[in-house]
Amino acid sequence: MVSIISFKKSTRQMGFSSFLFLFLLYPLPLKVLTVDAFTGTYGVNYGRIADNLPPPATVAVLLRSARIKNTRIYDADQSVLKAFNGSGIEIIVGLGNEYLKDMSANADQAMDWVKENVESFLPGTKIVGIAVGNEVFGSTDQDLWDGLLGTVKNVYNALDRLHLTSVVQISSPHSEAVFATTFPPSSGAFRDDILPYMKQLLEFFWEIGSPFYVNAYPFLAYMSDPEHIDIRYALFQKNPGAYDSKTNLHYDNMFDAQIDAAYAALEKVGFDKMEVIVSETGWASHGDADEPGATLQNAFTYNHHLRKRLAKKKGTPYRPKIVVKAYVFALFNENLKPGPTSERNFGLFKADGRIAYDIGFKGLVSSSPSLSMKVKGYQGWFKSFCSLFALLLILRP
C-alpha cells in the first residue's frame, strides 16, 4: 500500500513538473490576459473642438439617455473624466501625437502620464483604453513614425507596473492612408513605405492582444470620386453592389468592404487573426459647394443604416464570425474645427442637446422650435438641471 501511494504521489509530482516545464517552454500569449475595451457594437467619438458644447456632466446624461455605452475622447481632459465618474460609460482616452517624440524615449514621462490621467480616475471612471497617437502613419512627420512604437511600449509597461493591463487596453487608430490598395477588398495591402513600422507595431499589439483600429469613411471615399462611386453603395442603400472575384464575395455596402480590405492587409503581413475595430466613421450633414454628398438627408441615411447594421451583431463577408464594432464620428458638431465646412458638421447632436436628425436617439431638448427658443432663454437653468439629473443617475442604486 505504501509503495502504491508513493508511486501515485511521485506520478502527480512528475505530471505537475512536466506541465510546469511545458508552460515555461511554451508560455501562453499575453493576449489571453488583456481586456475587452468595447461593450456591444456601437460607440461614439466625443470631440470637443468647439466653444458652444454642453458641460461634460450634461454629456454623460445625454449618452446614458441614448444608451450609448462606449465613447472615445482625443485627450485625457480631467473635467470630462471627473464628470463621467460613476456614469458606467466606458471611455478610451487619447494620448496626442505631440507626446510621441519625447515619450518614446522617456519611460518616466509615460508613467507620470498614466498615473495622472488614468490610474487616478480608476475605478470610478471606466477608462478602458488609451489610444496612443492618431492617424500617425497618415502624416508626413517622420518623427511621429519613429516615436509611435516606443511610446506604445512605454505606456504599456507603465500600465503593467501599475497592474492595469487587465483593465486598460492600448491601441493606435489609423487612417485609410496606410493602405496602398483597398479595392477590391481582397487586394487590401499596406503601403511599402510604412510597412517596416507597421509590422513592428502589429507584432507588439498581437503580443498584448490589442485589435487594429481603423478610421473608415465611405463619405470621404465617395467625395474623392463621386463620378465613379455609387452613392447608394456608400449609404447602405439598395444597389448592385461590388463583386470580389478573388474571394467570390459580394458586397452591398462600402463600409463592410473597407473593413475587409483592412483584414486582407493584415493577413498579407501575417496577422490574419487580429480583430479590426472601426475607430471612426460618419457622414457630414453639411459641406462646401465642392463637397458632394454632404447633406442632412445623406447623413441621416448613413447613420440610420449604420446603427441598424451594427445592431445585427454580425461580421463582414470575409470575416463573418467577427462581429463588427464601430465608433461613430461624432457626438456633436464642432464649430471651431479647421478645414472645410464638412469637418464641423459630423455631429449626431447639436450643441444644445437636440438631435441633429432622428435615427432613434432622444435628445435632452425637444427639437421643436418653440421649446428650443425657451431653452435658449434659460440656458443657465438647463445646464443646472442636467447637472442635477446626472448626479441623480450616478447616485441611483
Contacts of 20 (CB under 8 A, 6+ apart): none
Dist CA 318 CA 179 (whole Å): 18
3-state SS, the chain, equals CHHHHHHHHHHHHHHHHHHHHHHHHCCCCHHHHCCCCCCCCEEEECCCCCCCCCCHHHHHHHHHHCCCCEEECCCCCHHHHHHCCCCCCEEEEEECHHHHHHHCCCHHHHHHHHHHHCHHHCCCCEEEEEEECCCHHHCCCHHHHHHHHHHHHHHHHHHHHCCCCCCCEEECCECHHHEEECCCHHHCEECCCCHHHHHHHHHHHHHHCCCEEEECCHHHHHHHCCCCCCHHHHCCCCCCCEEECCCCEEECCHHHHHHHHHHHHHHHCCCCCCCEEEEEECCCCCCCCCCCCCCHHHHHHHHHHHHHHHHCCCCCCCCCCCCCCEEEECCECCCCCCCCHHHHCCCCECCCCCECCCCCCCCCCCCCHHHHHHHHHCHHHHHHHHHHHHHHHHHCC
Report whether 352 contacts 296 (CB < 8 A). Answer: no
Q: Say which of 135, 275, 291, 334 is annotated catalytic.
A: 135
Amino acid at site 41: T
Q: Is 275 a catalytic residue?
A: no
CB 279 within 8 A of CB 131: yes
Of these residues, 90, 275, 280, 334, which one is catalytic? 280
Active-site residue flag, 176: no
Measured in whole angstroms, how far is the alpha carbon of residue 302 from the centre of its chain? 18
Shortest CA distance to 305 belongs to which of 364, 260, 346, 359? 359
Cβ burial of 154 (10 Å; 0-12, 13-18, 19+) is buried
Residues annotated as catalytic are 135, 280
